[in-house]
Amino acid sequence: MMKLREYKFREEYTYYMLQALKGQQKELFRQDFLELHPTDQMEFFIELDETKRKTIYRFLTPTEFGEIFKELEPAKQNQCFVELDKLYTLEMIDHMSSDDAADFLGLLSPKQVDFFLNRLEKETAEDIKQLLSYQVESAGSLMTTEFVSISVSDRVSDVFDYLRREGEEPETIYYLYVTDEQQQLVGVVSLRDLIVAKGDQQVQNIMSSHVITVSVDTNKQEVARIVKKYGLLAVPVVVAGEQLVGIITFDDILSYL
């Protein structure tokens, strides 16, 4: 059987993807669909009718479908929500970043939100609740609470050990934020800085203490202006006393640039 990836043109490729769906050829579909960029996956998905969408739900795990779901417009997310099993949706939310989960749950009724939050781990639910509490146009509503925070006394080798263990969890590891015991932001280290540093060096000797930040109440347009002005891939979000509470990544602010 010819693999889908052997077809050269998008129209032909799409045709055979649809044939795999209609023919219930799960493994053939999965091996090629999952190689597509998430944007291409999303574009393919939004053209499907309800029957084919439901086949997608069966073919993909909640985690895999979540990568598509988070890119959908709110109206399309609502459409999927009506079609999805609640436990499937719960697992999908559980594997989303906190900001993506909050964006989706913000579309639902309070009763529906409570259903999901009451079934998530307490820490995850609290993070999402906090994000839902911020004003829609504020930096707080855009940020994720999943970021890398390290100590001034950490050695470079220790940081790399940490990243190997936890690197898949944070939203981005381009920047690592240096905090004190009170979680106050005192510096930033780029991944490049770490790579060129010696393993026994302490973070305080390679970090930059001049950090561009925004507050949770900063307007989204102002966040976009700051990100563009300084060419940032992410910007830390702080509350009074420079306590670090989250970050906003470039892709989350892109539509405001």
Q: Quick one: pLDDT at residue 2?
A: 44
Same fold, 36-133 and 149-256: no
Residue 168 pLDDT grade (very low, low, confident, very high; cuts 50, 70, 90) = low
Nearest residue to 167 (alpha-carbon basis) of 156, 155, 159: 159
Q: Which two tokens stand for residue 244?
A: 């670090």
pTM (global) more than 0.85:
no
Q: What is the mean pLDDT of residues 204-216?
A: 96
Rounded distance, CA 254 to CA 228, Å?
Answer: 10
Domain boundaries, the chain: 36-133, 149-256
Which of the pair, 8 or 192, is modelled with greater confidence? Answer: 192
pLDDT digits (tens, 9 = 90+) for 186-205: 999 999 999 999 999 999 99
Span 36-133: which CATH code?
Answer: 1.25.60.10
Q: Quick one: pLDDT at residue 128?
A: 95
Residue 171 pLDDT grade (very low, low, confident, very high; cuts 50, 70, 90) = low
Q: Write out the CATH class of domain 149-256.
A: alpha beta
- Cβ(215)–Cβ(141) under 8 Å? no
